[in-house]
A and B are shown apart, each in its own frame.
Chain A
Amino acid sequence: DGGITQSPKYLFRKEGQNVTLSCEQNLNHDAMYWYRQDPGQGLRLIYYSQIVNDFQKGDIAEGYSVSREKKESFPLTVTSAQKNPTAFYLCASSMGRAGTEAFFGQGTRLTVV
C-alpha cells in the first residue's frame, strides 16, 4: 500500500544528543514536510522540500536539520541546539501543486530524558 512511514514511533533522547527521525514515502510525491505538534499550538512547519537536493526553512527551523538525497526520503535531525525538543513530530508529503492535500505519517513522539 502507498503511504508515508515514520520511524520510530517513540524516541527517547538524552540532553545534548542529536537524534534522527526517519520519514519515507512511496507515493511518488515531489514535496515533503516536517511539522512539530505541541498541545494547543497546532502544527508548526519546521522544514519543507519541493525537489531532491533542495529544502527550505519553515517557521521553526532553529535546532533542526534535514536532507533530501532521495525523492522517497526526508530525514529530520533534532540537534542539541534545539532547546525544547520534546514534542510530536509529523512528516507529510504532497504532489506539491496548488490545492493538493498533504498526506501524513503516523508521527514520532520524541521525549528528552
Chain B
Amino acid sequence: AQSVTQLGSHVSVSEGALVLLRCNYSSSVPPYLFWYVQYPNQGLQLLLKYTSAATLVKGINGFEAEFKKSETSFHLTKPSAHMSDAAEYFCAVSGGFTGANNLFFGTGTRLTVIP
C-alpha cells in the first residue's frame, strides 16, 4: 500500500523566509513522489517530481525537494518565500505497483505568506 502524510495542515511564513513543507511516504515498492500546488478554485499544477534519477529535485518557482530514503521523507523547500507562493500544496506518491500509476495524495498544506 502507498500513502503520504503531510505534517501541518497550515504553515505561515514571513515574506523572504524559508519555506519548509513536510511530506513522509509509505510504500512497499520504490516510490515515485510528486509535489503539486493548487491556487483557489483551480486545478493542480506540478511543482516537481522524484523518479530516482537524483535525490535532490529542483522544480518550478524556486522550489526543490530532497528524497531521503532513510527518513522516508520528501520535504519541499524554498529559500525565500514570495507573496505569490500562498497556495495549497499537495504531496503525492505512486509506485506503478498496480500498473495504473495512480497517484495517492496527502491531505494538503495551506501556505500563508505574511508581508
Say if the beta carbon of B49 comes within 8 Å of chain A: yes
List chain B residues, Cβ under 8 A from A44: 105
Q: Is the interface of A mostly helix, strand, loop or mixed?
A: strand
Q: Which of B52, B101, B106 has the most CB of A within 10 A?
A: B101
Whole-angstrom CA separation of A4 from B44 in the bound complex: 12
Q: In A1-58, which residues have CB < 8 Å from any B CB?
A: 4, 6, 31, 33, 35, 40-45, 48, 50, 56, 58
- B4's closest neighbor in chain A, by CB? A42
Whole-angstrom CA separation of A100 from B102 in the bound complex: 10
Q: What's the interface size class on A, roughly?
A: 20 to 34
Interface pair B46/A101, CB less than 8 Å apart: yes
- A39's closest neighbor in chain B, by CB? B108
- A103's closest neighbor in chain B, by CB? B46
Say if the beta carbon of B94 comes within 8 Å of chain A: yes
- B53's closest neighbor in chain A, by CB? A99
Interface pair B102/A58, CB less than 8 Å apart: yes
List chain A residues, Cβ under 8 A from B80: none
Interface pair A106/B100, CB less than 8 Å apart: no
Interface pair B41/A109, CB less than 8 Å apart: yes
Indicate which residue in B45, B46, B90, B100 contacts A42 across the interface (CB closer than 8 Å). Answer: B90
Say if the beta carbon of A102 comes within 8 Å of chain B: yes
Interface pair A50/B100, CB less than 8 Å apart: yes
Question: Knowing A90-B44, A105-B43 touch, does A98 contact B96 (C-beta < 8 A)?
Answer: yes
Say if the beta carbon of B51 comes within 8 Å of chain A: yes
Interface pair A107/B42, CB less than 8 Å apart: yes
Task: Mark B3-47 against chain A: 1 for CB-CB distance below 8 A, else 0.
Answer: 000000100000000000000000000001010100001111110
List chain B residues, Cβ under 8 A from A88: 41
Q: Which residues of A contact B (CB under 8 A)?
A: 4, 6, 31, 33, 35, 40-45, 48, 50, 56, 58, 88, 90, 92, 94, 96-107, 109
Q: Which residues of B contact A (CB under 8 A)?
A: 9, 32, 34, 36, 41-46, 49, 51-52, 90, 94-96, 99-108
For the complex of A and B, list the 9 residue pairs with the smallest distance between their C-beta atoms, beginning with the closest: A98-B96, A104-B43, A42-B107, A99-B51, A43-B105, A104-B44, A99-B32, A42-B105, A106-B43
